[in-house]
Structure 1
Amino acid sequence: MRQLAEDTGAELAWATTWLHRANAEIGPRVGLPELKVVEFHDETGWKYPAVARYAWERPLAWFDDDFGLHPSRRDEFVHKRRHLTTALIHVDPGTGISVQHLSEARKAFSRNP
C-alpha cells in the first residue's frame, strides 16, 4: 500500500467507521503510519459525501468492503466523478487487501491524465 502511494503520488487516508481508532488499532498491524481520517459523523448517504469532499478534484482509488450499501448513492458518487479517475475496489474483509487489489488501483492511476 505504501509503495503504491509512493509510486503514484497518492495520499493514503482512512475512510472507516473506526475513524481515528484505525490509526491505533489497524494501522500498526498492517504496517501503516498514522494517516489522515475522513470524518463522516452523522452523514447521510453513507461515506460518499465525506469522501467526495475529501478527494474533491483528485484521482481516487478507494478500498472498502461495503460498496453494496446504498447503491443509488454509490452510482451518484461515481457519476459526479466521471471526469476523474475513480476506482471503487471491493475488498473481502476476511482476506484483506491483496496484490490484485493494489494492481487494480495502480492500473486506475495509470489512466489518470
Structure 2
Amino acid sequence: MLPGPTRRPLIFLDVDGPLIPFKARLVGRKHSFRRAVTQPPADAGNPLLDRLDPDDGRRLSALGGQLVWATTWMAEANEVVSPRLGLPDLPVVEWPDSDDDPKHGLHWKTMHLVRWAAGHPFVWLDDETTDVDRRWVAAHHSERALLRRIDPYVGLTEADLSAVRQWLVQDEGAA
C-alpha cells in the first residue's frame, strides 16, 4: 500500500492495451505518436515494448495523482515499463493468488482495487472495465472513482487524459 496518508487520487494503470496497444501506433497520429512499429528495439525481449509512447509518462505524471501499477506485469512494470516512460518506481498492486472468478461479469481486478484504494478516490485506466465494474464500484466504494476504459487497439489518448483531468478538477472542487 501507499506509505503515509495522502488525499491525492490514486491512478491505477494497466499496461497491456492502455500503454502497449494491441496495434502499432501510427506515424503522424494526432496524439504525439511519432512512429509505427516495424521492428523490435535491439535491447528488448518483448517486441511490443516499442509500442510504448515515451510521452505517456510525462502526460500521466502531469495529472497530479498517485500513479500505481495495476497490471499483471506487477513489479516488472517498474523494471521494464517505467524507465521507457521516464517514470520513477511506482507502487504496485499485488494480486491475490486466486483462480476464483468474480460473479456477474465483474472484472477480476475490481474488488481488489477497491480494497487497495482503502477509501481514497481513484481513477482506473484499463482496457477491460465495463458498466458492471462501474456499478459495483459505485455501490461498494465510499469515495469517487473514475473507471476509464481505454481502447486496447489505440492505447491511451488525449481524450482519455482529458477525461481524467476533468474528473480530477471535479474532485478538487469536492474536497
Higher RCO, 1 vs 2 (CA within 8 Å, ≥6 residues apart): 2
Query: Greater CA radius of gyration, 1 or 2?
Result: 2
Residue in 2 aligned with 1:76? 136
Structure 1 CA distance for aligned equivalents of residues 114 and 139 of structure 2: 12
The runs of 5 or more residues in structure 2 that have no matched partner are: 1-59, 103-107
1:12 and 1:35 in contact (8 A); partners too: yes
- Deviation, 1:47, is 0.9
The aligned counterpart of 1:59 is: 121
| Greater mean alpha carbon deviation, residues 89-98 or residues 10-19 | 89-98
Q: Does 1:27 align with 2:78?
A: no
For the aligned residues, what is the CA RMSD? 1.9
Distance 1:93 1:26 in 2: 17
What code does the residue aligned with 2:110 have? Answer: Y
- Answering whether residue 155 of structure 2 is matched by residue 92 of structure 1, we say no
Q: Deviations over 1:4-48 (max 9, x none)?
A: 02xxxx211001111111111222222221100011122443111
SS state of the match for residue 115, structure 2?
Answer: helix
Distance in 2 of aligned mates of 1:73 and 1:93: 17
| Length-normalised TM-score, structure 2 | 0.54
1:42-67 per-position Cα deviation (integer Å, ceiling 9, x unaligned)? 24431112211221211111100111
Query: What stretches of structure 1 of length at least 5 have no aligned partner?
Result: none
**Secondary structure in 2 aligned to 1:12?**
strand
Cα drift, residue 74 of structure 1: 4.9
Equivalents in 2 of 1:50, 1:85: separation in Å? 16
Residue deviations 1:61-83 (CA, integer Å, cap 9, x gap): 11001114xx64553223212x5
Q: Distance in 2 between matches of 1:17 and 1:50?
A: 13
Structure 1: how far apart are the matches of 2:76 and 2:165?
A: 27
Residue type of the alignment partner of 1:28: P
Pairs aligned (count): 106
CA 1:96/1:73 → structure 2, altered by over 3 Å: closer, same or farther?
closer
| Greater per-residue helix proportion | 1
Q: Is 2:92 the partner of 1:37?
A: yes
User: Residue 66 of structure 2 aligns to which amino acid in structure 1?
Assistant: E
